[in-house]
Amino acid sequence: MKGLRVFRIGAGVALLAVFIGTASAGGGGGGGGGASPDTLPLEPMVVNLKDQRYIQIKPVIKLADPVDTDTVKGWTPLLRHELIKYLVGRDPKEASSPQFMKVFSEEVAELFNKVLRHEYIKDVIFDSWVVQ
């Protein structure tokens, strides 16, 4: 019972962090210049890992050609779905390693291009990566 309560508190904190991050990224206030024309930021995501742990990520798609932004943007719900399927149930220790992030980035770019049936994606980088 105590473990469930700790998990709920942790999940609530993660969702609050996502909400705050989304609200602050959405505008207001001055500095920071926004995304470059060859990137497409996705909404932050929280995905369940093994052992009641989770990962919070904020993926950014780097496009091969900025002209394709609108095309890829139309596919983002499916791309997010594929990303969740790829991550769910992973070992938290694995997801915490720098080696995993590098390989994961390459594999996700390949997966996205497979879903899109075209080489739109040059790379997938992460603006945020938290394993809890």
Note the pLDDT tens digit of each residue in 62-94. 999 999 999 999 999 999 999 999 999 999 999
The one-letter amino acid code at 99 reads: Q
Domains and CATH numbers, the chain: 36-131 (3.30.479.30)
Query: pTM here?
Result: 0.72
Asked if residue 10 has pLDDT above 90, the reply is no
Closest by Cα among 87, 58, 74, 69 to 115: 74
Token code pair at residue 57: 């990520």
| pLDDT tens readout for residues 20-63 | 444 444 433 333 445 788 999 999 999 999 999 999 999 999 99
| β-pair partners for 130 | 56
Contact 57, 131 (CB under 8 A): no
The predicted structure's pLDDT at residue 7: 53
Angle, vertex CA 67, rays to CA 65 and CA 72, nearest 5: 85
> Quick one: pLDDT at residue 15?
46
- What average pLDDT does this structure show over 106-129? 96
